[in-house]
């Protein structure tokens, strides 16, 4: 269904005549163009990609094994008697290699993989949030410009009303108070135009800040005024949405942390192989060693208990996120359906009736058949109905954008973000 706000034909013809005498207008500045420009320059996209890149580099770090150590020792030196100076020195030089046991390396890599998933989803969430922000800014700018058009038309009508009142007062058909009342309405209408123009300028400026360049040309009012055929409420499911994917990624990370904490309970072994030189005989002998820490004070149980509790918390938060996401989607669907109904009503029969009533009241007042109060009441009703129609359209588009954000999938764009981040890594880290 296409909903078109009804404006006086005289204004449409005036705009057509003005456009015919001006250069070719700039292309319509669509929402798709705003989203494309905003996605290209927004720091949120850059931050999300950098987060995935950092997590991917962390995965490379987690896969590294412990570094070997060079061990050099000198014994039996600077003592007394035969051990005075370095005459009986025994120098040992060798290499010590820590050996990780208990699956610590694989556990670290599992944690890093889960963190990559979390970073990937966070990057996708940032893109979805940016899309919602730009869409809402575009809606506000479009609604502000429609309000400016209405304000200008109301100012024209108020000026015509003031002129008609002056004619009637001059002819002695009305009291001077009607002229004063009409002048007050004209002044208020002109003031409303200034306010609406300022608001529209600010809304355009806010949109321009998000997309990184000035907003030129007309906004897509056809899109703004169109109401889709929204049918019955669809079954509510949060599976595959960003909200649930983010909570599930946190739960996977917490579960991997439990495995890492358990692996840390197994002591590592350090083996060494050295060569010892005896100063007294100038002989060389091999020295082999093995060292194993004794888990006397820190046996890792507290760390496992902490990680287990955090995993339980993350899983509970995942289930809570599922409930909240489904509640949010159900509410957003209802809000969208209600907003569509309100927009159709306010911009359809109600607006048509109000516009016709105001037209008849203006003709009747100029002919002396209706009182000024009848005219003012009809104009007030038309003004309020137009404002309600624009507000209803803005509410409908906003509800549509919020529902799209709540049901945004977590697959395609996230995988692309991960792929781009990995390809941006230096070759020695990838």
Has residue 91 been placed in a domain? no
The angle, 0 to 180 degrees and rounded to 10, between the axes of the packed helices 31-41 and 104-170 is 140
Euclidean distance between the first and final Cα of the chain, in Å?
52
Q: What share of the chain is helix, strand, coil (3-state, %, to 5)?
A: 65, 10, 25
Residue 315 belongs to domain spanning: 105-264+302-423
15-24, 234-243, 351-360: the lowest-pLDDT one: 15-24
Q: What is the pLDDT of residue 317?
A: 93
Q: What is the pLDDT of residue 410?
A: 78
* CA trace torsion 365, 366, 372, 374 (10° rounding): 20
Per-residue confidence at 230, pLDDT binned at 50, 70, 90?
low
Cβ-Cβ contacts under 8 Å for 88 (sequence gap 6 or more):
76, 77, 79, 82, 279, 280
Has residue 66 been placed in a domain? no
108-117, 182-191, 261-270: the lowest-pLDDT one: 182-191
Cα 324 to Cα 321: distance, rounded to the nearest angstrom? 5
Q: What is the pLDDT of residue 76?
A: 82
Has residue 71 been placed in a domain? no
Domain total of the chain: 1
Q: What is the pLDDT of residue 199?
A: 94
Per-residue confidence at 25, pLDDT binned at 50, 70, 90?
low
Residue 243, domain CATH: 1.20.1600.10
Q: What is the pLDDT of residue 374?
A: 74
Has residue 5 been placed in a domain? no
Has residue 93 been placed in a domain? no
Has residue 190 been placed in a domain? yes
Has residue 278 been placed in a domain? no
Has residue 347 been placed in a domain? yes
């Amino acid at each position: 269904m296409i909903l078109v706000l009804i404006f006086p034909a005289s204004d449409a013809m005036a705009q057509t005549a003005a456009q015919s005498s001006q250069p070719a207008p700039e292309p319509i500045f669509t929402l798709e163009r705003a989203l494309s420009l905003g996605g290209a320059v927004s720091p949120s996209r850059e931050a999300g990609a950098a987060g995935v890149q950092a997590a991917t580099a962390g995965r490379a770090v987690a896969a590294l094994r412990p570094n070997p150590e060079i061990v050099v020792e000198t014994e039996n030196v600077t003592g007394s008697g035969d051990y005075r100076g370095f005459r009986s020195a025994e120098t040992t030089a060798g290499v010590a290699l820590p050996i990780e046991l208990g699956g610590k390396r694989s556990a670290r890599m599992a944690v890093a993989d889960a963190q990559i998933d979390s970073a990937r989803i966070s990057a996708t969430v940032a893109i979805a949030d940016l899309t919602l922000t730009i869409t809402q800014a575009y809606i506000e700018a479009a609604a502000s410009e429609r309000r400016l058009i209405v304000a200008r038309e109301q100012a024209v009508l108020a000026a015509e009303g003031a002129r008609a009142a002056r004619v009637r007062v001059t002819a002695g058909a009305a009291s001077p108070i009607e002229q004063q009342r009409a002048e007050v309405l004209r002044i208020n209408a002109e003031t409303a135009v200034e306010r609406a123009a300022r608001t529209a300028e600010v809304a355009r400026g806010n949109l321009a800040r998000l997309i990184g360049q000035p907003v030129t040309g007309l906004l897509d009012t056809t899109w703004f005024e169109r109401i889709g055929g929204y049918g019955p409420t669809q079954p509510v499911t949060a599976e595959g949405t960003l909200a649930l994917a983010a909570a599930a990624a946190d739960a996977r990370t917490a579960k991997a942390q439990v495995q890492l904490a358990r692996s840390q309970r197994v002591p590592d072994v350090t083996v060494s192989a050295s060569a010892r030189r005896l100063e007294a005989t100038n002989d060389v002998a091999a020295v082999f060693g093995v060292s194993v820490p004794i888990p006397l004070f820190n046996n890792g149980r507290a760390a496992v208990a902490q990680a287990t509790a955090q995993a339980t918390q993350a899983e509970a938060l995942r289930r809570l996120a599922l409930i909240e996401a489904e509640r949010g989607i159900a509410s957003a669907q209802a809000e969208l359906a209600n907003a569509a109904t309100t927009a159709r009503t306010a911009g359809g029969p109600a607006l048509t009736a109000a516009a016709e009533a105001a037209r008849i009241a203006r003709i009747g007042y100029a002919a002396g058949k209706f009182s000024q109060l009848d005219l003012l009441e009809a104009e007030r009703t038309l003004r309020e109905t137009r404002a309600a129609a624009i507000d209803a359209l803005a509410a409908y588009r906003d509800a549509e954008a919020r529902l799209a954000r709540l049901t945004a999938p977590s697959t395609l764009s996230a995988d692309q973000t991960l792929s781009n981040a990995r390809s941006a890594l230096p070759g020695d880290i990838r």
